[in-house]
Amino acid sequence: MSTSERLIESTRELLWERGYVGTSPKAILERADAGQGSMYHHFKGKPDLALAAIRRTAEELLATAEAVLTGPGTPYERIEAYLRRERDVLRGCPVGRLTMDPDIIASDELRAPVDETLDRIQELIAGIVEEGKEQGQFGPRVNGEEIAATVLATVQGGYVLARASGSPAAFDAGVRGLLSLLRS
């Protein structure tokens, strides 16, 4: 792997583990086994490197979500597959966690990939819910966009509950609760 690649990958890991504010160039360089000069040769600085890392993480997350949501099965089954897909729950969402970072929120450029990714997933889910409505699988009075927001929020909030308690149980409980409501 090239030095530039190692820098991006190390940054992705650290952003996931410690967030933007908690990630220093020094820590990135150590993990990537690179020197100061390399980083400032390939990137303009910490924000520039972080942007590259965030973009890649966002793309990867969207691809994973798309794969599950556009897979086989009824609308309910596809949403269930999304909710139950394998996750490293205690690590949290590598994209969603960035929204708690003040420096990310303060920068439109750094926030953009986060916003776009979550928005795109929400649209996908909304479409699936509308599909399910037409098929009579969901009640006619539910709103696709709203349910999509609920589904996404349950996942993002599930990470919060799990990390608070130090156990994935709360995440799973939230998902089961939502699925029980979607079924009834």
Partner DNA sequence: GTCTATACGATGATAGAC
Partner DNA sequence: GTCTATCATCGTATAGAC
| Angle at CA of residue 132, ends 128 and 133, nearest 5° | 120
Q: Which is nearer to DNA, 20 or 138 (CB)?
A: 20
Q: Which is nearer to a copy of itself, 84 or 176 (CB)?
A: 176
Residue 38, interface with DNA (CB under 7 A)? yes
Q: Which of DNA, a copy of itself, none has residue 176 at its interface (CB below 5 to 8 Å by kind)? A: a copy of itself
Residue 51, interface with a copy of itself (CB under 8 A)? no
**Residue 72: φ, ψ to 5°:** -75, 165
Chain positions 74 to 93 lying near a copy of itself, rule: CB under 8 A, are 92-93
Region from 13-21, 28-36, 38-46, 47-55 binding a copy of itself, contact rule CB under 8 A: 13-21
Residue burial 138-175, b: 16+ Cβ < 10 Å; e: rest? beeeeebeebbebbbebbbebbbbbbeeeebebbeebb
Q: Which of a copy of itself, DNA, none has residue 36 at its interface (CB below 5 to 8 Å by kind)? A: DNA
Residue 4, interface with DNA (CB under 7 A)? yes
Decide: 122 and 145 in contact? Cβ < 8 Å.
Answer: yes
Please tell me the distance from the alpha carbon of residue 102 to that of residue 21, in angstroms, as a whole number: 8
The two three-digit tokens of residue 88, written as one number:
């490293």
Chain positions 5 to 24 lying near DNA, rule: CB under 7 A, are 23-24
Identity of the amino acid at 171: F
**Residue 25: φ, ψ to 5°:** -50, -40
Decide: 79 and 135 in contact? Cβ < 8 Å.
Answer: no
Decide: 114 and 142 in contact? Cβ < 8 Å.
Answer: no
Exactly one of 40, 55, 77, 116 binds DNA (CB under 7 A); that residue is 40
CB 2, min distance to DNA, A? 7
Exactly one of 19, 25, 127, 157 binds DNA (CB under 7 A); that residue is 25
- The residues that touch a copy of itself, with contacts defined as CB under 8 A, are 17-19, 21-22, 92-93, 96-97, 99-103, 105, 111, 114-115, 118-119, 122, 139, 141-143, 145-161, 163-166, 170-171, 173-178, 180-182, 184
